Structure 1
Amino acid sequence: MNSIHIKSLVNKYLLGVSVAIIILLLSANIVVSYHSTHIMQQNRQLQEQTEEVKKAVFQSLYLIHNADLALRGYVAFKDPRYLPPLQFAYEDKDSIFKTIEVPLRKQNYSMIEFDRLKDSINTYLDQCTRMKDLFDRNQLKEFTQLAKEDKGYHLWLQYDRFNKAVCLYEDTINEQAQQRYNKAQDTIHLVQFMLALLSVPTLLFTAFHTYKQVATAKKLRDAEWENARLLAGHNEKLEAIVQERTEQILIRKQELKAQYEQICLQNEELSRQREELARQNLALTEAKRQQLEVYTQSIMEKNEIIEVIQNKLEQFKSIQQVDYSIIENFNTILKSSILTEESWQKFKTTFEAIYPHFFATLRFHYPHITSAEQRLAALIKLNLSVKECANMLGISPESVKKSRQRLRKRLQLTESENIDIFIQEFLTTAAEVNKDQIA
């Protein structure tokens, strides 16, 4: 299986490389074809240009012949009708010279011979005009002398040299352009040959693999039909198993339904019991609250008794002869009214039933708080005054004030914060928010 997979990857790689090369060759063929077309256009332009130059050079010969024929006819027949060719030569010479000069300069041809020929033709035309004037004035001696110089023949020789040089130059340009065109054509043929050489095997290779894929797809379809037939048989068995299992599930479902109904009945009983328990807890909480109120009222009454006894003690102390047994009785009453450790524990139990997590919240937020500070905080929670706290704790009001100052520092209160409001509001809120963390 591994070798087959590797072979498939190699085939895909070769096919991809072949397609990439074909695309590259097609691109090269397009580029080369475009280049060849451009060369053909240039060749056609060069051919038209060279033909135009050759034609213009040949027309320059007409300038010489026309001037010569016009002068000879005029002298021979003394008829002005023979003079127009000379006039035409004067009129056409500039356009003919320009037709020759412009393309030759574009082709970077040396213009020395052309300039000489141009000057010679202008000189010859001027000479012909002068000879015509000499003939008209009957100055035949000077006319004959100029005619014997035969400058037309020398001008023709000069033209012939220039014409041959220009034709040779233009033929060379045409030949070079044709060579470039032939080279481009050869390149096109080479690219097309390579394209065909690579495309044919690639197409055959693609066709072969396509045929294999079709055959493989047919085999896969046959295998799928066979699998479908086998699956149909398995499905029948599975349906029987599923039906049997479904019946078992229905039976189990009915059993679970019965169990569920029983559980619902039990839940209803539990809900009823929870409601009863909640009602009892509410009644208990209310009873404890009433108990705390009674306990607090008792404390208040004891505080009033303590205040009366202290006043009496002050009166007795002002008498010179004091019955110390009476003072001892008052002290005994005072001790029974002070919040002792035993009575504090009973008070604390009742207090926590009404204000759960109060002491735990204090310890959670202020781990270093002392038992005395907790006790004072509880008395402040009950809205007891400084004097009432002093009577309950068996200390002086000044000591209570100092204890309140220490408690303020422990609670990290600022000068503007009221300790009574803080304990009544903040600690109650903190206890509700943090009771899960404290627990």
Structure 2
Amino acid sequence: MTAAKQFISKQTLFLGVLIIILLLLLNIVFTYHNNRIMQENRQLQKQAEEIKIAVSQAIYIIHNADLALRGYALFKDAKYLPPLYFANEDKDSIYLTIELPLRKQNYPLTEFNQLKDSINAYVHLCMDMKVLFDQKNFHEFERLANLDKGHHLWLQYEKFVRTIHAYEDTINLNAQHRYDEAEKRIYLVQFLLLLMCVPTLLFTAFHTHKRLITAERLREAREENARLLAEQNITLEKVVIERTAEIARQNQELKEQHQQIIVQNITLKEIQRQKLEIYTQTILEKTQIIETIQHELEEVKNSRSESEDSVDIEIIEKIKVILRSRILTEESWQQFRTDFESVYPLFFTTLRYHYSDITQAELRLSALIKLNLSLKESATILGIAPESVKKARHRLRKKMKVEEEETLENFIQTLT
């Protein structure tokens, strides 16, 4: 039950810390988002002010054109005309300063284009009226002046300005609303963070205090155990001294027995080695006798004339095959292997471990090399030509990946 409570406490603490970390990350994200909204608000406010200023410049076109024409008509002096010329020349650049930011805000430009057309028409009208005045066509000049196109243009401009200001104010309000929402989210996260931190810290402090008390009790228990152990050690020392003397006596007996076993093992090993050597020598002698018989049969075969019975020659060949097959039979190989493994018990196991694809023929050849038999002696025992043994040794060397500077004999001798 205590272990279950400890597990639940650890899980609760872990969960609380995890939630605090998540809330901190969320707070960072919201703070970053809020800062970005503030930057966007400042940018939008700046852009709105720039648009309002740019829109206000449009009135200068109307004022300049109107005042220049009126001054010229009243005082008949050309020095009043430059504002009209400037209005005609600067109107396109002023339109551009208004149009570009409005396009960035995706503002519908229909009303702006209408105002732009009206201003262009009014500036052209003022230029035409100046020409009429120069031509002393005062009647037509007065008629056009009485139409009061400037007043209508002013009303159209006022309407456009109110629309632009309302649009920019809406953008600012929306941005401010997003900022307020982001700020509320930050306050909510910070409140939740506080709500999680306080219980978690109290929970941690409680369990830390509990652990300290447990640690103190554990320390006292350890001191008591140490005192008891010290008393037990005094008692045990006497027992240890007695047991040490007894163990020393037993060890001496075991050493003597071990020495006897070593001597017996050495004797047995030597007997097995001699037995293996005798068996190997017996096989060699047997193979030499068989080779002698084969040689004599070959001479008998060669001495017979071609006219003599071919059946006898065939019988001789069969006898030779039988003799050759009996050099190292499966039974003699098993006996040889048993004697060999009694002297080198791990040799074949080591070969199979390192070279899993090694064949029985290669195991036999490796054993003969381990016994330091020559190429001719190995060929005699295996009942094959020395050249075949040479090729088999070459293949075995490749399979074992023996270095060029090392001989196959030395390499096999290093194996167990």
Alignment match of 1:427 (pick from 327, 344, 359): 327
* CA deviation string 1:31-82 (max 9, x = no partner): 2222222222222221111111111111111211121112222222233332
Aligned to 1:26: 24
- Aligned pairs for 1:318-337 within 5 A: none
Q: Distance in 1 between matches of 2:179 and 2:229?
A: 71
Report the counterpart of residue 122 of structure 1 in structure 2.
120
How many residues in Structure 1 have an aligned counterpart in Structure 2? 320
Gaps of 5+ in 2: 301-309, 340-416
Task: Tell me the residue number matched to 2:141.
Answer: 143
Equivalent position amino acid for 1:158 in 2: Q
**C-alpha separation in 1, matches of 2:183 and 2:121:** 49
Residues 1:56 and 1:432: Cα distance change in structure 2 (over 3 Å): same
Paired position in structure 1 for 2:83: 85
Hey, what does 1:224 align to over in structure 2?
222
Greater CA deviation, 42-51 or 227-236?
A: 227-236
1:391-410 counterparts in 2 under 5 A? Answer: none
Matches of 1:76 and 1:385 in 2, distance apart?
154
| CA–CA separation in structure 1 for the residues paired with 2:6 and 2:228 | 31
Say if 2:167 is the partner of 1:169.
yes
- Higher-Rg member (1/2): 1
| SS state at 1:427 partner | coil
- 3-state secondary structure, aligned to 1:154: helix
Q: Distance in 1 between matches of 2:165 and 2:245?
A: 112
Q: Distance in 1 between matches of 2:174 and 2:297?
A: 126
Q: 1:111 to 1:384 in 2, by over 3 A?
A: closer
Query: Which residue of 27, 38, 41 maps to 2:39?
Result: 41
Q: Equivalent of 1:64, from 62, 65, 68?
A: 62
Distance (Å, rounded) in 1 between the aligned partners of 2:239 and 2:42: 90
Secondary structure of the corresponding residue to residue 58 of structure 1: helix
The amino acid across from 1:70 in the alignment is: A
Give the one of 9, 12, 15 matched to 1:14. Answer: 12
Deviations 1:270-299 (A, max 9, x none): 98xx99xx9xxxxxx9xxxxxxxxxxxxxx
Deviation at 1:254, TM superposition (A): 5.6
Please give the secondary structure, in 1, of the residue aligned with 2:106: coil
Q: 1:180 aligns with which of 178, 181, 185?
A: 178
Q: Deviation digits for residues 67-98 of structure 1, max 9, x if unmatched? A: 11122222222333322222222232112211
Residue of structure 2 aligned with 1:134, choices 132, 138, 161: 132
Whole-Å separation in 2 of the counterparts to 1:141 and 1:190: 75
- The question of whether the paired residues in 2 share the 8 Å contact of 1:386 and 1:400 is answered with no
How far the C-alpha of 1:429 sits from its partner, in A, is 8.5
Paired AA for residue 149 in structure 1: L
1:402–1:161 CA distance, 2 compared to 1 (3 A): closer
Amino acid at match of 2:73: V
Q: 2:136 aligned with 1:236, yes or no?
A: no
Match of 1:206 in 2: 204
The counterpart of 1:109, out of the listed 107, 110, 114, is: 107
* Equivalent residue letter for 1:76: L
Relative to structure 1, the CA distance from residue 223 to residue 159 in structure 2 (aligned partners, 3 Å threshold; closer, same or farther) is same
Gap change, CA 1:438 and 1:163, over 3 Å in 2: closer
Could you list the runs of 5+ residues in structure 1 that have no partner in the other structure? 279-284, 286-353, 362-376, 388-397, 412-418
Query: What are the superposed Cα offsets for residues 247-275 of structure 1, whole Å, 9 maximum, x if unpaired?
Result: 334445566678889x69xx79x98xx99
Residue identity matched to 1:228? A
Give the residue type in structure 2 aligned to 1:239: E
Instruction: Tell me if structure 1 keeps the 8 A contact 2:297–2:320.
Output: no
Assess if the C-alpha contact under 8 Å between 1:53 and 1:100 holds in 2: yes
